[in-house]
Amino acid sequence: MKRLNLFFMFLLMVLGCAAAVKAEDVVFLKDGSEIHGTIIEEVPGVSIKIQTNDGNTFVYKTKLVAKITHSAPDSSANQDGDNSNEPAVKTAPSGNLVNNFKSDPNASFSEFSFFGGVGIATMGTITTINDDIITPSIGDSYDLSPLVYSGNFGIGWFTNHIGLKWTFTYGVNVTDYYDGYTSYDYSDLYVYEYGSELEADLSLDDVQTNPNRPKARRVISVYLPLIVGFWDVTVLNNYNAEEYRGTCTDIGSGLGLRAIGDDNLMFDLQFIYRYAYGNPLEYNEQANSRIPVSSTKYLNADVTGFAMNFDIGFTFN
């Protein structure tokens, strides 16, 4: 009898342990996932924390949960533990759920932005000065840098397949040159450009969403910019205190790459080509004094050329 009692006690302990192992809670998410384990914390209307059988712990917002059950798994498993006849069960992804972003072709986004950046550009005015101008009014010998270095700031709005930007740009080229009179007669020649441009972007967007953060978005866009702008171009010789100024309009296009993060940061890299329609550069202090290129042609205020811009901004919606 004593041995029989010990046997029954042992049998009850085994059955109790088996029930403890197999008993589990199941959290059904609205995206179809099922998480099996033990609920260890629940804040009504806010969140639920579940520990899976393999030891991982996950937290879900209540609004992502479809329902919760407290039950044992299907008893149809055979004695050897073979569950091959059971349907496949989706389990919670491992790793950091905060960064569980995936591409969603049906997702939308709408972001406003303030941004600023730097750029480099070639410039038609500088090219013509280097190649064609020989006049004692400014000097005989030129060797300007072919690049204009610029800074810009602006505002923008971006949504699926469309972007709009308004940008203000300041650029400068400063070069020492020899004016042709004496061996020691060197001075600085400045070329300034001040521009305002409107831009419309046609984009292909990869929008990434996170089921654990419904309002979060990550967007990567490849876009075609369409640009129109107005510029003021100034050529200034400080040594002789001579200043020439003209204006021009431009159109442009190219290729851009933009990334908007869930941390409200935006990065924008752009390669464009501008074509400008300019007015002759006129001397401010003397009427009808222009920079001659030939006997019948004068230097235009020209921003024709290639440009590369890199912007960093902050977004909000």
pLDDT in tens, 16-34: 554 444 557 888 888 778 8
Query: Does residue 135 have a pLDDT over 80?
Result: no
73/36 Cα distance (integer angstroms): 9
> Mapping DSSP to helix (H, G, I), strand (E, B) and coil, where does residue 258 land?
strand
309 to 145, 161, 278: CA distances (angstroms): 18, 21, 22
Q: What's the confidence (pLDDT) of residue 97? A: 56
Query: Does residue 258 have a pLDDT over 90?
Result: yes
Mean pLDDT of the chain: 79
Tokens 């924390």, located at residue: 49
CA 184 to chain centre: 50
Give residue limits of the domains in the chain.
21-94, 110-316
- Element (H or E) spanning 128, and its range? helix 124-132
CATH for the 110-316 domain, from 1.10.150.20, 2.60.40.2140, 3.60.21.10, 2.40.160.20: 2.40.160.20
Give the other-Cβ count within 10 Å of 184's Cβ: 6
> Mapping DSSP to helix (H, G, I), strand (E, B) and coil, where does residue 285 land?
coil
Mean pLDDT of 137-149: 67
* Residues in the chain, total: 317
Q: Is the pTM of this model over 0.95?
A: no
User: Per the structure block, which two tokens stand in for 30?
Assistant: 């609205």
> Mapping DSSP to helix (H, G, I), strand (E, B) and coil, where does residue 26 land?
strand
Please give the CATH number for the structural domain made up of 21-94: 2.30.30.100
